[in-house]
A and B are shown apart, each in its own frame.
Chain A
Amino acid sequence: MLLTMKVAFRNILRQKKRSFLLAGAIAFGMLVITLMNALTGGVVGNIRENFSHALGGHIFIMGREWTDAGQMIMKIRPDERLEQLLEEHGAQIEGFTRRSQAMPTMIFGSRQTMQMLYGVDFAEETKLLESLIVTEGSFSEIGTEEASIILPQPVGERLGVQVGETMIIRLETLTGQQNVGEVKVVAFIKDQEELGLSAAYTSRSYLNTLLGMDPHEYQLLNMFLTDLDMVDEFARVFREGLRAEDEEEEVVEAEPAVSVTVAGMPMDPMTEREELTPWEGTRYQIMHINQIMEAVELVVGVLNRVGQVIFLILLVVTMVGITNTFRMIMIERTKEIGTMRAFGMHQKQVKNIFLWEAVFLGLLGCIAGLFLALVISFIVGGIELNTDPSMQFFLDNGKITFIFSLTKVVFNTAIVVFISLLAAYWPARAAAKMSPIKALSSHT
């Protein structure tokens, strides 16, 4: 086998231009599919990451309870079961945040607008501050000024408010009374309004005061996990652990994924189908980032399939080229084949020389394609793009991310090698079947 491999490899170097063109065609196909896979992988990663930052976690736990007046409110009170679960699984939790939320009317002068507002413990949510892109002002006053607010730039523009000015927010408390507060604008941030993720941020304790909640209460518990592969399992464990004795098993997976976010906030699909019979205490709703990502991954899956089809078409075209080239090679080397056969080379060994040549060509093409893909991704990935805010959601700090999957690279390489083998098989077989006398009598 070593002999056939050696001869095959050297044969590739024999006609450098021809080998270069063939391997180049393969490399182009490999380049396209690798870049496409890496790009979609990067986009999925960035969307997941940006969603996680915007929503403040990978797992979202909401608490609901009934008031004495028969009203359902969203609230999480200190709960031993929850604390115990957090303690038990602390090693897998990178960090968790407790948020309150409201949809207040923001008023400045004669202008007003409604805006999603999160009450955040800024000391806890360093990841959030890292992910927000400041366009004006700074976060330095956040810790010192409790009644401060971070506004999306377009919201500030709509209201005509400037950084440093104070505006009014009007909202309903959890029990439905009207309440008003004053907040100082400390910073404007870039907005992802187009994706329904426009949110303003204030301190949780201040928002709790306006909502009529105690400072240690909150509405959403969001967790960042150390390993994103554990999201589904983690959500299951928390669902089990927090389910009330009389509560039926939750079937969140049956819900369409698109129904989970509205205005950047994970919604509770159960309320749409659940019979609203009041219960005692707090019941929990657990959502996770993968439910939001399902729709994205579906689109990315389609994109990858399209890429795969383009890749296969390119390979089929290349395959025709390989077959024709190998036919030509067979004719050129007829006498050589005759000589090898005369010295005792078996038909199978002759065939193997051609097949190894095809394998080497395929592999060289793949290596070249991968190398080019790495170079291109390195260059493109280094460019900071000044795109529309909605596009920023697909990027990592304004840069395109490429994530290379070893499994996909190996799979694509295997396809290339298989197709190269298939393309070379018939010429190889014809070369092997050639009668030694005819081969030696050839004038080529």
Chain B
Amino acid sequence: MGIVELENVKKVYTLGKAEVHAVRGVTFSIEKGDFASIVGPSGSGKSTILNLIGCIDQPTDGIVSINGTVTDGLKDKALTRLRHETLGFIFQSFNLIPVLNVYENIEFPLLLGKDKRSKKEIREWIEFLVEAVGLGDHMHHKSNELSGGQRQRVAIARALATKPEIVLADEPTANLDSKTGQSIIELMKKMNAELNTTFIFSTHDRTIMDIADHVIQLLDGLVVEDTKRSAKVGNLS
């Protein structure tokens, strides 16, 4: 059984009197430790599927199962808990909390729940993440003092702070130049390999999707290709 399972999932949005079928019956499974890419042109349903996997949206029909939990029928509290315990997010426009510095942004998800680790352990873990994303010298900088690439690195560290099973990244390189985008994907791949965290990211950049070991291709809300590559790419750093 995959860590993420979608079974005939549909999502219909109502825009005024019109209905938009964003996802028309999608079925796929992603295994633990996958570095999965959801690709497709704009409007193909990539972001909608990531939102459904991320429990920030509910399907109109079908079943979404995250780490063995079916999300259908869960109340807000349970969904919030599931997100906190199982998922990490990386956004296209970074979405760092502007009033917090690098360290505090990464620490932020840890403070939302009850962590059994000591303060010292938490501090060491955050420092490890900051070093891992190459921002050891920027620990106390605010987000507006960082470049786009640096902000996305902070976002990656933040997504991994709670040691989630799955990290979702919605077009993580879209606001970055190609070189920085490439380095961000490589960083994600490195973390995937080192921490065995499942990464699922959406992109329409063909060069980036080639790094993925599992590619799900969408078109008009339907899966048109689901490819798994047997050989996983190792540590790129």
Contacts and interface: CB of A to CB of B under 8 A. Distances in A.
A339 B112 contact: no
B46 to A, nearest CB: 14
B97 A345 contact: no
Contacts of B57: 436-437
B113 interface: yes
B83 A343 contact: yes
Interface in A308-357: 335-336, 338-347, 349
B108 interface: yes
Contact of A344 (B51, B81, B91, B93): B81
B112 A342 contact: no
B98 A339 contact: no
- Chain B contact residues: helix, strand, loop or mixed: mixed
Contacts, number: 68
B41 to A, nearest CB: 19
B81 A336 contact: no
Which of B85, B98, B99 has the largest count of A CB atoms less than 10 A from its CB?
B99
Nearest to B47: A441
A5 to B, nearest CB: 11
B208 interface: no
Contacts of B104: 6
Interface string B73-109: 0001100110111011101010101111000100011
A10 interface: yes
A372 interface: no
Given A339-B91, A437-B51, A344 B113 contact: yes
A344 B84 contact: yes
Contact of A341 (B80, B88, B91, B100): B80
A11 B100 CA distance: 10
Interface string A1-18: 011001100110110000
Contacts of A340: 97, 108
Contacts of B91: 339, 440
B99 A7 contact: yes
A97 B88 CA distance: 83
B54 interface: yes
Contacts of B56: 338, 341-342, 436-437, 440
Nearest to A349: B112
Given A10-B100, A436-B56, A437-B56, A344 B95 contact: no
B97 A336 contact: yes
B52 to A, nearest CB: 9
A57 to B, nearest CB: 62
Interface size class of A (residues with CB under 8 A): 20 to 34
Contacts of B98: 14, 336
B80 A345 contact: yes
Given A3-B111, A341-B56, A437-B51, A346 B77 contact: yes
B108 A3 contact: yes
B80 A344 contact: yes
A343 B84 contact: yes
B43 to A, nearest CB: 14
A349 B112 CA distance: 9
A347 B76 contact: yes
Given A345-B80, A346-B77, A339 B97 contact: yes
Contacts of A335: 93, 95
Q: Which of A13, A335, A339, A341 has the most CB of B within 10 A?
A: A339
Nearest to B84: A344
Most buried by B among A6, A341, A345, A349: A345
A10 B97 CA distance: 11
A347 B79 CA distance: 12
B99 A14 contact: yes
B128 to A, nearest CB: 19
Interface in B187-208: none
A2 B77 CA distance: 20
Contacts of A6: 104
Given A339-B91, A344-B83, A344-B84, A3 B99 contact: no
Given A335-B95, A437-B57, A440-B56, A344 B112 contact: yes
Contacts of B51: 437, 440
Contacts of A437: 51, 56-57
Contacts of A343: 83-84, 88-89, 108-109, 112, 158
Contacts of A338: 56, 95
A349 to B, nearest CB: 7
- The CB with the most chain B CB atoms within 10 A, among A6, A338, A342, is that of A342
Contacts of A342: 54, 56, 83, 87, 89
Contacts of B93: 335
A9 to B, nearest CB: 9
10 contacts: A14-B99, A339-B89, A340-B97, A342-B56, A342-B87, A343-B89, A344-B81, A344-B113, A346-B77, A440-B51
Going nearest first, the 8 A-B pairs with the smallest beta carbon separation are A344-B84, A10-B99, A436-B56, A339-B95, A3-B111, A437-B57, A343-B109, A344-B112
Given A335-B93, A342-B89, A344-B162, 19 more contacts: A2-B111, A3-B108, A10-B99, A13-B99, A14-B99, A335-B95, A336-B95, A338-B95, A342-B54, A343-B89, A343-B108, A343-B112, A344-B83, A344-B84, A344-B85, A345-B80, A346-B80, A440-B56, A440-B95
